[in-house]
């Protein structure tokens, strides 16, 4: 009877295994949930979304057979509301700058699955990110009109930027304390490795010196570089891609990587997202070096996989913040510090502008 019972049990197990395989549920047994028809990716829209689509999104859809539906814009408040209510629409969302650190600290994000997402070829300080995926890099750098100063003869540092006698003419800077305070301290002689925590009083005192020479405090990326083209300023700051797009069109602008402020844009998976498993796979695809190289070729902003430059057009490399030559000249913006201090400093900044 025992042998008969054992035989029946064994036969039942075999039959169940066969049925399990035939119904396509083996993946689920190994931890893979059923594939949804689609997942939702929330990003900044516009040109970056188009570049994401041509590279990362198309590659993910081809690999997994899951459609990516896009929404925009990036909105930390909406992310918070979704997670708080449990009504989460996004599988993955882009998150801007210090907001990404705030989202992490507020418990709004799923932890990254490092068994799936390979960050081993990223800059060392980004490899152990636990919740915030470092998607791509961009820098705020100095630009100047080469027809005014001569190619290579404009300001080469923030001390030069502040030197209105040696480099006369109107300036333009972003209407934000983020990075401007760092630039002021660098102009005042602080070494890049000693910037943080920022000496805020010293920075604002140094900003007092340049303020009368700033013709326009820009508020959008498109405006920043265009101000030089329109000759409203002869020296300014802008995101590297904004300068690059105009240089490609023949604008007489030279750029300076020395003491540039490099930082990352970020992706994250909302806490409780129902398709978080597939969100992890999308982030893994986004970490691919070859795809990041293709992405940079399209939009001029590189991913942070340091192997990506091997897959980038050599003509583009001089304009990328992550090229070996440019990366060593810059400093990383401390997003954690700004996440802790931005609210109070922003209020002070607005008062300072009105003085």
Q: How confident is residue 14, by pLDDT bands cut at 50, 70 and 90?
A: very low
In a domain, 24, yes or no: no
When pLDDT is averaged across residues 202-207 and rounded to a whole number, the result is: 98
**End-to-end CA distance of the chain, in Å?**
95
Q: Are residues 256 and 316 in the same domain?
A: no
Cα angle 321, 325, 327 (rounded to 5 degrees) comes to 40
In a domain, 124, yes or no: yes
Rounded to whole angstroms, the Cα distance separating 139 from 121 reads: 20
DSSP code at position 309: G
In a domain, 221, yes or no: yes
**Backbone torsion region of residue 327, taken as left when φ is above 0, otherwise alpha when ψ lies between -120 and 50, otherwise beta:** alpha
CB–CB of 59/288 below 8 Å? yes
pTM of the model: 0.84
Which helix H or strand E contains 205, and what residues bound it? helix 200-210
In a domain, 15, yes or no: no
Q: Are residues 120 and 252 in the same domain?
A: no
Q: How confident is residue 21, by pLDDT bands cut at 50, 70 and 90?
A: very low
Q: Are residues 221 and 200 in the same domain?
A: yes
pLDDT for the residue 213:
98
CB–CB of 298/51 below 8 Å? yes
Q: Are residues 49 and 129 in the same domain?
A: yes
Q: Are residues 277 and 289 in the same domain?
A: yes
To the nearest whole number, what is the mean pLDDT of the chain?
Answer: 91
Q: Are residues 338 and 203 in the same domain?
A: yes
Q: Are residues 170 and 252 in the same domain?
A: yes
Q: From 282, 290, 319, 289, select the one nearest 304 (Cα to Cα).
A: 289
Range of the domain at 79: 29-137+265-321
Rounded to whole angstroms, the Cα distance separating 18 from 7 reads: 16
Q: Are residues 34 and 170 in the same domain?
A: no
Q: Are residues 225 and 334 in the same domain?
A: yes
User: How does pLDDT run across 298-312, given as a tens digit for each residue?
Assistant: 988 899 999 999 999
pLDDT for the residue 30:
53
pLDDT for the residue 24:
38
Q: Are residues 257 and 293 in the same domain?
A: no
User: How does pLDDT run across 146-175, given as a tens digit for each residue?
Assistant: 999 999 999 999 999 999 999 999 999 999
Q: CATH no. for residue 252?
A: 3.40.190.10
Q: Are residues 108 and 46 in the same domain?
A: yes
Number of domains in the chain: 2
pLDDT for the residue 48:
87
Beta strands 133-145 and 253-268, pairing class? antiparallel
Q: From 181, 79, 86, 188, select the one nearest 131 (Cα to Cα).
A: 79
Can you tell me whether residue 333 is helix, strand or coil? coil
Q: Are residues 226 and 93 in the same domain?
A: no
User: How does pLDDT run across 28-85, given as a tens digit for each residue?
Assistant: 445 789 999 999 999 989 888 999 999 999 999 999 999 999 999 999 999 999 999 9
User: How does pLDDT run across 84-129, given as a tens digit for each residue?
Assistant: 999 999 999 999 878 999 999 999 999 999 999 999 999 999 999 9
**Backbone torsion region of residue 152, taken as left when φ is above 0, otherwise alpha when ψ lies between -120 and 50, otherwise beta:** left
In a domain, 22, yes or no: no
In a domain, 162, yes or no: yes
In a domain, 108, yes or no: yes
In a domain, 181, yes or no: yes
When pLDDT is averaged across residues 21-26 and rounded to a whole number, the result is: 39
When pLDDT is averaged across residues 195-204 and rounded to a whole number, the result is: 98
* Cβ neighbours for 340, distance < 8 A, ≥ 6 positions apart: none
CB atoms near residue 284 (< 10 Å): 18
* Cβ neighbours for 63, distance < 8 A, ≥ 6 positions apart: 281, 285
């Amino acid at each position: 009877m025992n042998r008969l019972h054992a035989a029946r049990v064994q036969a039942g197990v075999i039959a169940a295994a066969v049925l399990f395989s035939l119904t396509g549920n083996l993946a689920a047994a190994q931890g893979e949930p059923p594939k949804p028809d689609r997942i939702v990716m929330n990003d900044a829209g516009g040109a970056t979304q188009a570049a994401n689509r041509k590279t990362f999104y198309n590659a993910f859809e081809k690999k997994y057979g899951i459609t990516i539906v896009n929404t925009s814009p990036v909105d930390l408040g909406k992310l918070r509301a979704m997670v708080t209510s449990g009504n989460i629409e996004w599988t993955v969302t882009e998150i801007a700058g210090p907001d990404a650190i705030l989202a992490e600290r507020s418990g709004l994000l799923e932890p990254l699955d490092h068994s799936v997402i390979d960050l081993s070829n990223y800059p060392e300080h980004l490899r152990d990110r636990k919740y915030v995926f470092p998607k791509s890099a961009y820098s705020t750098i100095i630009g100047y009109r080469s027809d005014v100063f001569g190619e290579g003869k404009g300001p080469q540092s923030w001390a030069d930027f502040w030197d209105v006698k040696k480099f006369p003419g109107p300036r333009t800077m972003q209407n934000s304390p983020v990075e401007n305070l760092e630039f002021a301290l660098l102009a005042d002689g602080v070494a890049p490795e000693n910037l943080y925590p920022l000496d805020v009083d010293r920075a604002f005192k140094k900003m007092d010196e340049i303020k009368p020479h700033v013709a326009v405090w820009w508020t959008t990326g498109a405006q920043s570089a265009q101000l030089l083209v329109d000759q409203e300023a002869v020296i300014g700051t802008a995101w590297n891609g904004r300068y690059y797009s105009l240089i490609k069109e023949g604008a007489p602008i030279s750029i300076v990587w020395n003491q540039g402020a490099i930082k990352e844009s970020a992706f994250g998976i909302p806490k409780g997202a129902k398709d978080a498993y597939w969100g992890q796979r999308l982030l893994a695809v986004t970490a691919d070096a070859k795809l990041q190289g293709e992405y940079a070729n399209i939009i001029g902003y590189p991913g942070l996989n340091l192997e990506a430059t091997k897959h980038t057009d050599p003509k583009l490399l001089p304009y990328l913040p992550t090229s070996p030559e440019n990366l060593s000249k810059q400093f990383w913006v401390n997003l954690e510090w700004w996440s802790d201090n931005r609210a109070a400093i922003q209020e002070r900044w607005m008062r300072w502008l009105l003085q």
